Structure 1
């Protein structure tokens, strides 16, 4: 019979070409793969798990672009002897002990399951959905290999970052293409671009704010949109991340119908001695408290899933800075995670990028 997807003549039930010799490798029915990608997670919060994870993360030239001869001795001899302890302690505070995994892993699994269900309802078994991590497990290599072995002749690679940045979207794509280099028979591929201004993404953010505010007794004086930071030097070198973040804040404010100044755009997770994008969230919330804005809410639009940077840094360090400066009510609005509006937005982005591949 003729397989409509691949154009090959396949013997029914046997998975081999009708004209091929008996010892020819089986030919699987062609599928389309949708591979979601997130930043990553350590396997556990013990010293060696943390050290392996941090070594992979902080050795990425897209993340830390200093010359190796200068950076690696500092990383290996100083940072990786101390930081795994402090980072491990922070992970332990937020760890999903029931499933023995990080919240990012739990949430990414839930997102993947819902997206797989949504695509199955539209396209049946012809589309395979899975996820990988840029750092740690499951690795990008292993998931690309699994998709190829499953018969995926086309793969849509989707870094779950609404805003483009070299240290997030680009490095995820880099790793994906490195995995592709190992394949004898490479499938056709597409990568999903940033979706920071997609109407359904903005709608999902707005709904999360409205739902959070509806449950508050005291309305926040200001909403702080805290985005992951990056060195200012990256912006000056052409990385569009800062502009993408600013536009998301504006579009969110407009969708909510709020006046200018109702949302502050800030940046968190500063690392190293050089200047990063400002204002820094941890300093800005303290300044708000000193200015008399005693009730604030914080949202993290750049994160598709709650993780160490949101659950521990925002809801821990940044909350403490606000309260220590005299703040009274600090409301953290969770990431979009696997809520229905977010999944609807992600499915729309996927469908748009599958155009021409599916009916």
Structure 2
């Protein structure tokens, strides 16, 4: 039975969620259609530009992403504190950059005389918009609808571009967050689209390493530079000694890149038996051994659904979302202390 999105999101348990959307039919986000020879690589650029635009509007940060041939992965962080601090005027400005402004709101912003009842209606509308700015369903809706319209226009067709609703997983602890991010960043390597993390364009790992999501010289359309919005960077790693910001992923970026690179070399089919001689530092921080990490990272996409975390956190999440049990409960942390 299809579950409501509300039953899959509990900010009391975690602000981190893994989202996936797939295309229908033989629709493409990138790659080449073997029947027509038409290349769709430019659509990955549409995705990255729109993701960054929406991140600058919503109180939502992007932790990790990977744009594949017929689907994409996003790891999102909902920033409730930022959303709470937004003024009513800022909420209107942000929402107005996506949708047309009602006349009543426009009058209120211009400080034109309105009655107490109208003022109350204005505040109700703004509060609803504020809630939406911290809602992953609205974030994904604004992303998927935009891409679907552009793709259908280019394909000269109508109808669905995406395969129903997006899927989401709650990431309940640091182990789940890091495992999911590594799984997402390694998708092009696992799919044999690229041979290394540093060459996997249109992934968060590539953007963190190179500062951009794609090679500038390969673009045929507008890049992120010069667009009409201020680009919000990916959610940063704050484990480095020089990092002073409060909000971020509590590990070192260099340790994370090392871990992803090591995992990618181990998970490649032609390198499966070539265990690296060194043990990534971040595994010691997480308290995981190599075999457990590789088991989690290699089966993350197929074994774990709904929510990922320790058994204690899964029980709390199930209680907060009205579930009796979680599908991944028996599989998750089978070998973990």
Q: In which range does the TM-score fall when normalised by the shorter chain? A: under 0.3
Q: Greater strand percent: which structure?
A: 1
TM-score (norm 2): 0.24
Per the normalisation by structure 1, the TM-score is 0.23
Task: Find the structure with the greater CA-based Rg.
Answer: 1
Q: Which has the higher contact order (CA 8 A, sep 6+)?
A: 2
